[in-house]
Amino acid sequence: MSVGLTHYLVVSLLLFCLGLFGVLVRRNLLVMFMSLELMLNAANLALVAFARYHHNLSGQIMVFFIITVAAAEVAVGLALIVALYRQRRTAHVEDLASLRL
Amino acid sequence: MLLAFLGSLILWARDATGEPAVTWLALGTGTGGLQIELGLKLDPLSRLMLLVVTGVGSAIHIYSWGYLHADRNRGRYFAGLSLFTFAMLGIVLANNFLMLFIFWELVGVSSYLLIGFWFARPAAAEAAKKAFLTNRLGDFGFLLGIILVWAALGTLSFTELEARLADDPAALGAAASVAGLLIFCGAMGKSAQFPLHVWLPDAMEGPTPVSALIHAATMVAAGVYMLCRVFFVLAVPGSVALELIAWIGGVTALLAALLAVQQNDIKRILAYSTLSQLGYMVLAVGVSGASRDPSVAMYHLTTHAGFKALLFLGAGSVIHALHHEQDIWKMGGLSRRLPITFWTFLLATLALCGVPPLSGFYSKDAIIARTLESGHHGLFALATLVAALTTFYMFRLVFVAFTGPAKSQAADHARESPPVMTLPLLALAVPSVLAGFWGIHRVYGAQYGAEPAAAGSWAQQLVEPFAHAPLAAGAGLAAALMGWLGAWAWYRAALQDPLPARFATVARWLRDRLYFDELYERLIGWTQESLARLADGVDRWVIMGVAVKGTHGTFELLGRLLRLAQTGNLQTYAFVLVAGVALLLFLVMAR
Amino acid sequence: METLCFYLFAALAVVCGFLVVANPFSRNPVASAMFLVLTIAALAGLFVLLHAFFLAAVQILVYAGAVMVLFLFVIMLLDLKEEERRSWRKFGLVGGGVAVALIALLMYAALRQSPLGAAGEPRVEGSTAALGELLFRQYLLPFELVGVLLLVGMVGVIWLSKRAVP
């Protein structure tokens, strides 16, 4: 059985759901962040697969941009986490409930 | 004022052929709304009433000139007096309910101003306030009555109302009794009938001529006049209003006569006497339902206006001569020092007591006869009793104040008042004597459609009551005689009132006016207290509790609920976000 | 051969992804990071299978290189001990599980529904030259904007880190 678009999409789906589960369940900020990256990568995979099977390079261009933005996002997010940790001495999301009244 | 009197005389002379009504001004818009035609109504009723008001008013104006010649505020006094007269004439001439009510209120205001003329005296200010407030109470009912009549019949004009009720006596329907009684409320206030009588004796704090004007000719008469004017509303078949009016009148007459027996202030005695006579008039209106002719009430009103004004002015003359001494037990022997005052006063007293051939006899006899004719035997007995009491307290006054030895220094040195005051006394004495056989009641009779009786000679009219209703006339005379004998026996040469010694409790009760003022004070205090408590409760529970705290509570509860959603936990937010995404996705796919 | 490679890389990616999120043996963030590197590498393999060679290289360089190094640096900087074993929140676990299952179900349904078009002959070659052509012609403006974005991100990171130093 040859590998088709659907196969790639299923893999992408699985990875996306794993990432989502991590974001929702894990409570370490860093691990949540990594789960987020996983979700982005799943999206990347889907885009590349579409580009391949729909004869359109624009999907790859999009992935290129996503990677760039993700890099910037990771940099800023990690800087925020560091700053937060310096103030609160914790990277645990349940300890960061200052949004609550 | 004199000019007005002369004008009224001319009008009188022109007889009923003149224009019956003049319309000044029409107010109101369209056909459906409130339409008022301000105008004058000139019929026998108002014509004679004009004569009374202007006649007595002129006498009082002249008299006041002498009575108040030393008062610095004379200008204000005469302004008030003229305003009062103007308002009274307005009532007399009004051709509709609204105009009547406006002038009615104007009378209330000017009486307030006049009673409180010596406003520096707390008692006078209090009395003015009391008179005004008591009147307001009655006027409120009056206004309600007017509104009710307007709502039921759609017009306020007397002429139209009368025509409509004549067409269809049931037009007012079930509201007839209520409307009648509400309108009577107004008369009750102005004419000081039983539950609202308390203001009249206190109104004696005003200058004596004002008392004469208010109590004799005008203000109190306004109530009775109004009752006669709107008699067609009251006399609607099936209405119980008249019956009630008759009994209220009777009770007022008896009560006031009893109270008068134990008063020592000369003006207060006269005030209660006025109350009593007003009760008579109202009684007369009340028992006239069957004959549809309240002219006897107006008859008594007219004669009473004459001799009661005379009594008040005489009392004023006495008070003036004694430098504002009003206690009859400090007078005495005045018949020699104030001859004119004494003789006119005596004349008026005799008229009031109903001694023939003076005017009071005829009018009072007419009322007593009317009660008998209409089958109100209880009221007949009441009226006779009141007649006896009237003679008793009036002669008590005369004996104590005018005969016997002088009981004070001031009484010893009293001098007769100046002519400007005695002349009106003499002038008023004339109608007191003659009014009885002028056939006034026949004039009023014309107003109510009674066929004019053949005008007999004076001599015939003189003895007419005896021929017409011998029982009533006899009873009235006997009552007067009994009263006179009682007064003569007890007060002929008394230096002190013998009654308190013999009937201590009763006398004290009567002297304290049966504690009506105290009762009202308690009642009003209690009502106000309850109302205040109610308002407080409403404020505290409904406004504060439900409106303010309820609003606040609702939003606080909502806020607390919403706050539960705001955990501050990042993952909760993420969870909600995912749920939202899932929902959107589902919606997109379901399409 | 190609099919075998696909299943290999796909299995590697999914298993490592699972270990990133929920490692039954270790709670150490460093382990998570390492497994994430593996996942990214497996994805790069998949990119190669899809003939996206340039992207595969970028994926390895940027993600596995720069980004993951950054993560490890931060982990070291924060000196995070192995996450203390707090009990899993039952509600969070169940809720998260249900939500994820729901999303997965919906997405799978979408996958089944949607017409995927010409899923037959893959022809496009993701050569670097072709990609460069496209990037510098059609997508020049977004490319420049992304450059600006990177600059902004750099400035922001410097400012954030500097403030804490005083």
Q: What is the mean pLDDT of each run of 10 residues along chain B (591 residues)?
A: 55 43 43 58 71 76 74 77 81 80 85 81 81 82 83 75 72 71 79 74 76 72 80 71 80 81 79 82 78 72 80 80 73 74 81 74 77 76 81 80 69 68 75 63 50 46 57 69 72 62 62 64 77 83 79 88 76 82 84 70
Cβ-defined contact of A96 to B570 (cutoff 8 Å): yes
Nearest C-alpha neighbor of C42 from the set C78, C22, C15: C15
| Minimum-distance CB partner of B575 among C95, C110, C113 | C95
Q: Judge whether B81 and B64 are in contact, CB under 8 Å.
A: yes
Q: Which of residues 15-44 of A touch C (CB under 8 A)?
A: 15-22, 24-28, 30-31, 33-35, 37-38, 41, 44
Most confident stretch, A85-94, B549-558, C95-104: B549-558
Cβ-defined contact of B571 to A27 (cutoff 8 Å): yes
Q: What is the pLDDT of residue C84?
A: 55
Please tell me which residue, B456 or A30, carries the higher pLDDT value. Answer: A30
Nearest C-alpha neighbor of A18 from the set B424, B542, C103: C103
Q: Judge whether B60 and B46 are in contact, CB under 8 Å.
A: no
A18-30 core/surface letters (b: 16 or more CB in 10 A; e: else): bbbbbbbbbbbbb
Q: Judge whether B480 and B388 are in contact, CB under 8 Å.
A: yes
Residue type, C93: L
* Pairwise CA distance, residues B54 & B5, whole Å: 5
Q: What is the pLDDT of residue B293?
A: 67
Q: What is the pLDDT of residue C111?
A: 77
Mean pLDDT, range C90-100, rounded to an integer: 76
Query: pLDDT digits over C123-142, tens only?
Result: 556 678 888 888 888 899 99
Tokens coding A72: 């910037």
Chains sharing 3 or more CB pairs under 8 A with chain C: A, B
Average pLDDT of the residues of chain C:
81
Local structure of residue B566 (DSSP, 8 states): -
Nearest chain B residue to C109, by CA? B589
Q: What is the pLDDT of residue C44?
A: 92
Least confident of A11-20, B183-192, B272-281, C83-92: C83-92
Query: pLDDT digits over C60-79, tens only?
Result: 998 888 888 988 888 888 87
Cβ-defined contact of B575 to C103 (cutoff 8 Å): no
B81-92 core/surface letters (b: 16 or more CB in 10 A; e: else): bebbbebbbbbb
Q: What is the pLDDT of residue B503?
A: 61
The alpha-carbon gap from C107 to the nearest alpha carbon of chain B, in Å, equals: 8
C98 at B interface, C-beta within 8 A: no
CA torsion angle B577 B582 B586 B589 (round to 10): 100
The alpha-carbon gap from B528 to the nearest alpha carbon of chain A, in Å, equals: 50
Least confident of A6-20, A58-72, B194-208, B301-315: B194-208
Mean pLDDT, range A29-35, rounded to an integer: 88
**Does the structure show a pLDDT above 90 at C148?**
yes
pTM, two decimal places: 0.59
- All residues of chain B having their beta carbon less than 8 Å from the beta carbon of residue C114 are none
* Pairwise CA distance, residues B236 & B37, whole Å: 24
Q: Judge whether B100 and B91 are in contact, CB under 8 Å.
A: yes
How big is the B-C interface in CB pairs under 8 Å?
Answer: 24
Q: Which of residues 553-572 of B touch C (CB under 8 A)?
A: 571
Cβ count near B262 (within 10 Å): 22
- All residues of chain B having their beta carbon less than 8 Å from the beta carbon of residue A88 are none
Q: Judge whether B441 and B295 are in contact, CB under 8 Å.
A: yes
Mean pLDDT, range C17-27, rounded to an integer: 81
Nearest C-alpha neighbor of B213 from the set B310, B144, B286, B122: B310
Q: Which of residues 52-71 of A touch B (CB under 8 A)?
A: none
Q: What is the pLDDT of residue B25?
A: 46
- All residues of chain B having their beta carbon less than 8 Å from the beta carbon of residue A23 are 571, 574
Strand ranges, E, within chain A: none
Phi, psi of B465 (to 5 degrees): -55, -40
* Pairwise CA distance, residues B517 & A64, whole Å: 102
| Minimum-distance CB partner of B569 among A32, A93, A101 | A93
Q: What is the pLDDT of residue C149?
A: 92
User: pLDDT-derived band of residue C12, with 50, 70 and 90 as boundaries?
Assistant: very high
Tokens coding B534: 């109610």
Q: What's the gap between Cα B497 and its chain centre? A: 31
CA torsion angle C98 C99 C102 C108 (round to 10): -120
Q: What is the pLDDT of residue B458?
A: 47
A11 at C interface, C-beta within 8 A: yes
Nearest chain C residue to B574, by CA? C96
Q: Judge whether B582 and C103 are in contact, CB under 8 Å.
A: yes
Three-state DSSP state, B25: strand
Nearest C-alpha neighbor of B348 from the set B418, B405, B427: B427
**Does the structure show a pLDDT above 60 at C99?**
yes
Q: What is the pLDDT of residue A45?
A: 92
Residue type, B356: P
- With vertex at residue C150, the alpha carbon angle to CA C65 and CA C48, rounded to the nearest 5 degrees, is 40
